[in-house]
Amino acid sequence: ENFYPKGFKHYTPEAVLADLDTINADIVALYATNQWGMAYYPSQVVPCSIGLDGRDYFGEVLAGLKARGKKVIAYINWLDSRHPEWRCVPLTPQGLNPPTAQLEAIPYYEPQGLGEVYKVKYGEWFTHCIASPRCDEVLALTREIVTRYPAIDGFHMDMFFNYAICGCDLCQPKLRELTGSDQPTYEAVMAHWSEYLLWRQEISTATIAQMANIVRQAGKAFAPNSFCPLYLTPSMAVSPSWWQYQDFYVTEAWLRLSAGYADLHSTTLVSKWLRAIDKPSALLVTGQHPNYSHAPLALEEFRLHAAGCLANGTPVLGSCGQGAYPSTASSPAAVRIIGQAFGEYAQAMDTLPARESAAQIAVLWSQDSRDFYEPGAQSLKYRFEFLGYCRALLEGHYLFDIILPEKLLSPDDLARYRAVILPNAACMDESTAEILRAYVALGGKLVATWDTACRDKHGAVRANSLLADVLGLTFKGSYPLETVYAERTPEPCVVNGGAAITEADSAVTLLCLVEPDPDYPEVGTNTDLMPGPISAYPFLTVNRYQDGQAWYVAGSLGYSLYKHGFYQVNEMMAGLFTHMGLPRAFCVEAPCTVEFNAERDAQGGWYLHLGNLTVPAYHPGTQTNRAIDCFIPVHDIKLQLPFSVQASQVSASNGNVSISEGEQGSVLMLAPLKDYCIVRIAAGA
């Protein structure tokens, strides 16, 4: 904290390095500045932390780490405790919500002559507007650090974002221009959401580009915290336009940070997304809630994250948010646990060659849909629809990749997949639609849902879906209610979120929407309506398009599954996958809490990954919680292989495998699965 004159009281380079020796990481992100904007070295740009009394913590620890052969990334943070006039001022439906003006200056910093520093409690740091002069200050910091410390290997900026719409004095001229009003309101900005967000993304990317240029000119790697978008809000203004400036993609694991949205599958999905961007990457396991960030996670929770990483491309595994105390002493348990987790991960990585995903299903993540489909911060009707389909695939033990439209250059990029799923990929450009059209024409299977391709790239509503011909439908608009019922035997299934109204052209209607009972129009106020007659509007259709097939789901099955988890929605999703004949390279008999993935190496060897998510009741987003400190073992997992193997070709880590011969090929029995197991099948099988 910036007001602790006795901060660093236990600091010696030897003590810090001793902890880092125990952890034995390959790469260390070393703080040059902290969340209060205070430097840990004698800076000419920002004040130096008073607890150091002029010492160069950064330089001293850097020298020790380089002597040990470690890679070191210099860390700075966008947050601050100076210049309150630069702070983001959230614009809300109730109006401007300015941060407190009751601030107490800290006299200790006056002799440094670099501006007043204010007393700010942990977690209440100043979040400056990304359009403020703080941009120039962090660029000056970057220049100072890469020049003064040529031994560093990379540079990292953390927390460069604004969560809210900003209505500060610096932003007011742009808001007035966008809205045409002298007093811009939240509702007026929402009406111009795409223009507002594109402006914020442009500002954000401009600073990232300048910082990358400074870092690269010094011969260092640029590795800002880039926040995987699956669990985060559009208003942060982090966009794919950052990618060209990133040498190393860094994100955090969102199980703890995004407790209201993330589930136990989150690290697996983040790892799949990192694999899709095809860059060197790191996933940082974030610790407890910020008020308890010095309390260590249990080793088992690290193992849960490690399993998701190992099975999906093996990004660099890191730890963050589990730092030293202000005195620089560390929790002995945290040091021991992180060191053991890193050691186990490194050992597993050392036994794995380069591998490619063996998935035959692809799920499209559309960041444009996350950003522009719904005005505002949450974008849940896109994100939850995507996450719901991913959850259903994971629980059904289907092998799938996440794909990105930015990486699709031709139909050849989809040729390896037998099915592509578009969960409410509403915001789509013509080039992506043309690639998908060609994919289906060549024999591929497509599933599109809800408003897929009904908007342009930045959210403008189209008269019809770009994929209307592939789907064999004409889109007529949105269903007037957010709660719909889907035709189903023995009774209709409630689906929360919304639906599109379509008219079948060449498509065959398999199921229809069910109207609410007209005699009870007020029941549940649009959330718990009674089902009535079957409507003429399709809910599920299939269409033959040249050599391929395209299914369409009009309602928000994925959103409803992810948000509410209603068992009938799960059953409908499973039925859809079965009807489509989604490919299964391996048939897995295991509980839905076991994750399964398969990869292949260049020689044709197989790597079958099984991760156990069967842990004590853990409910993100609730007021009560429990540590993930044990796994409940799963016994008698059965894998049906599509080929025959000999016992000499099969090996497993962390589990016992027996082999028998079945009608379709060999059957592997695994018992028990504690946390994670790799089954290796040698080339030639």
List, for residues 76-99, the tens digit of each pLDDT value.
999 999 999 999 999 999 999 999
Output 322 or 348, whichever has higher pLDDT. Answer: 348
Out of 358-372, 512-526, 614-628, the most confident range is 358-372
Output 594 or 530, whichever has higher pLDDT. Answer: 594
**pLDDT confidence tier of residue 15, bands split at 50, 70 and 90:** very high
Are residues 576 and 591 located together in one domain of the fold? no
Residue 643: is it exposed, middle or buried by C-beta count within 10 angstroms (0-12/13-18/19+)? exposed
CATH number at residue 666: 2.60.40
**pLDDT confidence tier of residue 291, bands split at 50, 70 and 90:** low
Determine the pLDDT at residue 621. Answer: 59
Are residues 574 and 542 located together in one domain of the fold? yes
Residue 414: is it exposed, middle or buried by C-beta count within 10 angstroms (0-12/13-18/19+)? buried
DSSP code per residue over 379-445: -HHHHHHHHHHHHHHHHTT--EEEE-GGG--SGGGGTT-SEEEESS--B--HHHHHHHHHHHHTT-E
* Per-residue pLDDT tens digits for 317-328: 999 977 788 889
Determine the pLDDT at residue 46. Answer: 98
Are residues 566 and 497 located together in one domain of the fold? yes
Residue 524 has pLDDT above 70, yes or no: no
Alpha-carbon distance 69 to 88, whole Å?
41
Residue 628 has pLDDT above 80, yes or no: yes
Query: Phi and psi dihedrals of 514, rounded to 5?
Result: -110, 125
Say how many C-beta atoms besides its own lie within 10 A of residue 617's C-beta: 8
Single out the residue in 526, 555, 580 at which a domain terminates.
580
**pLDDT confidence tier of residue 592, bands split at 50, 70 and 90:** very high
pTM: 0.96
Q: Please give the biggest Cα pair distance in the chain.
A: 82
CATH number at residue 379: 3.40.50.880
Residue 521 has pLDDT above 70, yes or no: no
- Which residue matches tokens 């799920």? 363
* Per-residue pLDDT tens digits for 459-488: 999 999 999 999 999 999 999 988 889 999
**pLDDT confidence tier of residue 384, bands split at 50, 70 and 90:** very high
- Which residue matches tokens 């090929």? 665
Q: Please, which residues bridge with residue 553 across strands? A: 449, 540
Residue 267, domain member (yes or no) = no
Q: Could you tell me what percent of the chain has a pLDDT over 90?
A: 84
Mean pLDDT for the stretch of residues 412-427: 98
Alpha-carbon distance 357 to 273, whole Å?
13
Are residues 538 and 613 located together in one domain of the fold? no
With beta carbons less than 8 A apart as the criterion, state whether 611 and 598 touch. no
Are residues 493 and 600 located together in one domain of the fold? no
Residue 392, domain member (yes or no) = yes
Output 434 or 123, whichever has higher pLDDT. Answer: 434
Residue 373, domain member (yes or no) = yes
Residue 196, domain member (yes or no) = no
Q: By residue range, what is the domain housing residue 507?
A: 361-580
> Chain-centre distance of CA 663, in angstroms?
41
Alpha-carbon distance 39 to 112, whole Å?
12
Mean pLDDT for the stretch of residues 574-582: 94
- CA angle (344, 345, 347) in 5-degree steps: 65
Across 194-349, the runs of DSSP E, i.e. the strands, are: 221-222, 249-252, 281-286, 316-320
Alpha-carbon distance 93 to 139, whole Å?
34
Output 472 or 584, whichever has higher pLDDT. Answer: 472
* Per-residue pLDDT tens digits for 214-224: 999 999 999 99
Are residues 454 and 484 located together in one domain of the fold? yes
Strand 419-422 versus strand 445-449 pairing type: parallel
Count of the separate structural domains present in the chain: 2
SS3 category, 164: coil
Are residues 495 and 633 located together in one domain of the fold? no
Determine the pLDDT at residue 527. Answer: 67
Are residues 386 and 430 located together in one domain of the fold? yes
User: For residue 184, what are the contacts with CB-CB under 8 A and spacing of at least 6?
Assistant: 91, 167, 172, 175, 176, 178
Amino acid 87 reads R
The DSSP symbol for 6 reads T
